[in-house]
Amino acid sequence: MADTTDTTAGGVAGDDTRPISGRTGGKASGKASGGKRAGKNAAATAARSGSTGPGGPSKGRTRPDKSTGGPAKDAPATTGGGAGSSRTAGEPEAATATPGAPVDGVSRRRLLGTAGAAGAAALIVGGVAGATGAEAVRGKPTPLTDVGSGVVPFHGTHQSGILQPAQAHGHLVAFDLTGGTDRKGAAALMRRWSAAAAELMAGRPPQGDDSGVALDAGPSSLTVTFGFGRTFFDRVGLTDRRPDALEPLPAFTADVIDGKRSNGDLWVQIGADDALVAFHALRLLQKEAAGAARVRWQMNGFNRTPGATAQPMTGRNLMGQIDGTNNPKPSSADFAQKIFVPDGQQGPESWMAGGSYAVVRRIRMLLDSWDNLSLDRQERVIGRRKSDGAPLSGGTETTRVDLDKMGPDGALAIPGDAHIRVAAPANNRGAAMLRRAFSYHDGFLDDGAPDAGLLFIAWQADPLKGFVPVQRKLDRGDGLSRFLRHEASALFAVPGGCDEGGYVGQHLLEG
Ligand code: HEM
């Protein structure tokens, strides 16, 4: 039976899909100046890869109004601004549209940035969460300006930084609570962090912040995501409310895990399309934690810069492969069920409604060995062409993978140990996760090898039905695993988002 893996629409994550073709730089004039800028090819590519769409450099870029500390008047709406602030056309299509496809030039990132997280989530999960999200984006188009102007709302059903395309710069940082921090102290910290994140994501320096680091920049699609590690629950006396899903991940044979760079009581994922904006958020949250929690480990990552490619494309990793193509599609009926913890759960884990579990792995690539492989061999290790990401069974990047296809030599077109064969949901009882990674490079090791690879982040409603079974399979029979070392590992419960006035984790800490 041929593989039924659906490759018809693009990945959500790991994609850099921001079109630059025909970009206008769009002054923030209230018109969607980038509206028609993506050409036919760009639109087609975006349709499969999760588009985002700031235009080129702009004189009318959005930035905080320094006199008031609020957003400049040309700033895009930040929270719940969807109604009346976004696109006019295509709402019905938007609800059913291929995720990521620019609709009248208004990209998915734009929709996410203007619909409000709840609306955006409803929009992109389509029928799963209901089509009401489409209503939230009805209204006047907002201008597409530049990279700095991208806004993602902090408040909503799900936390940000899961469904949005991975940004150009990322910081992953884990904290341990200090000895004296109890449940009340942890709640106060989450309240401070949530308030600061909401301000930062709106492009406003939080009260009392005069660091100036991000002063001239817009929000740059900043997202801040908070998670709780297994040990958090012991520290704050809530062991009875710890989800079973936070059971430690099993050891895998290819693991060379450094405990000091693994796990942690709290986790913060920061992503932004500007390095200073990302650092500013990191530094501010670290300062807010003073006395309550201290940094346990930190990792820095990156992706392709928005607009770096001539047309929207799925991003590449440091092995040069197009990575993210076959992520679960928000348009598929079971997307929400596979990625998010459902509402209406009774019992001690009900606080996780709308949340997700993040598996974080620092995976070093053995690039010297990899680079010694011929192109043909590299492609057979993955099962896809390097140039355009097309499966070796034929077609283009988005063509359905045919695992049964035989080559002219009578052998399987996609080898038995190819990464996409071993990892495919069809070969893992439907196990699926949303991969949203950052690349990293931390210099060179003593032997001259690059200390570089992937900050792999997998999102799922239950790690035992997502990452764990797939990694078990990969650990045993994956051609790619020979070129990888898993050097750090962590698992976090990432609660649902919060409403204005609330904070992330409130249902746990005050429930
Ligand atoms: C540095 C490590 C890794 C690299 C470089 C890598 C690279 C890739 C590439 C190039 C693809 C094909 C394009 C795509 O569909 O995204 C792919 C697919 C995939 N990878 Fe990985 N991967 C890595 C680690 C992992 C891990 C640890 C897992 C899960 C435990 C995983 C799960 C998957 C899945 C589920 C697919 C889609 C398979 C399909 O249905 O076609 N990958 N990966």
pLDDT in tens, the chain (511 residues): 333 333 333 333 333 333 322 222 232 222 233 333 233 333 333 333 333 333 332 332 333 333 333 333 323 333 322 222 222 222 222 222 232 333 333 333 433 333 333 333 333 322 223 222 222 333 444 444 589 999 999 999 999 999 999 999 999 999 999 999 999 999 999 999 999 999 999 999 898 899 999 999 999 999 999 999 999 999 999 999 999 999 999 999 989 999 999 999 999 999 999 999 999 999 999 999 999 999 999 999 999 999 898 888 999 999 999 999 999 999 999 999 999 999 987 888 899 999 999 999 999 999 999 999 999 999 999 999 999 999 999 999 999 999 999 999 999 999 999 999 999 999 999 999 999 999 999 999 999 999 999 999 999 999 999 999 999 999 998 999 999 999 999 999 999 999 999 999 999 999 8
Q: Is 320 left (phi over 0), alpha (psi -120 to 50) or beta?
A: left
What stretch of H or E contains 93?
Answer: helix 91-96
Q: Using CA atoms, how far apart are residues 125 and 360, in angstroms rounded to an integer?
A: 24
Domain annotation covers residue 406: no
Q: Is the pTM of this model over 0.85?
A: no
Residue linked to tokens 């001539």:
310
CB 461 less than 6 A from any atom of ligand 1: no
Tokens coding 390: 């097309």
- Of 255, 435, 464, the residue with max ligand 1 atoms within 8 A of its CB, to mutate for a pocket test, comes to 435
Ligand 1 atom with least separation from CA of 470? 30
Domain annotation covers residue 194: yes
Give the residue numbers marked as catalytic: 323
Phi, psi of 222, rounded to the nearest 5 degrees: -60, 135
Domain annotation covers residue 460: no
CB 474 less than 6 A from any atom of ligand 1: yes
Which structural domain range is residue 28 located in? 15-361+494-509
Domain annotation covers residue 260: yes
Domain annotation covers residue 335: yes
Domain annotation covers residue 485: no
End-to-end Cα distance, the chain: 49
For residues 76 and 85, the answer to whether their CB atoms sit within 8 Å is yes
CB 121 less than 6 A from any atom of ligand 1: no
172-206 as b/e: b if 16+ CB within 10 A: bbbbbbeeebeeebbbebbbbbbbbbbbbbbbbbb
Domain annotation covers residue 85: yes
What is the tally of structural domains in the chain? Answer: 1
Task: Please give the distance, rounded to the nearest whole angstrom, from the Cα atom of residue 468 to the centre of ligand 1.
Answer: 14
Q: Using CA atoms, how far apart are residues 246 and 441, in angstroms rounded to an integer?
A: 29
Tokens coding 113: 């940035």
Q: Using CA atoms, how far apart are residues 21 and 38, in angstroms rounded to an integer?
A: 6
For residues 157 and 118, the answer to whether their CB atoms sit within 8 Å is yes
Helix/strand/coil (H, E, C) string of 432-494?
CCEECCEEEEEEECCCCCEEEEEEEEEEECCHHHCHHHHHHHHHHHCCHHHHEEEEEEEEEEE
CB 326 less than 6 A from any atom of ligand 1: yes
Domain annotation covers residue 429: no
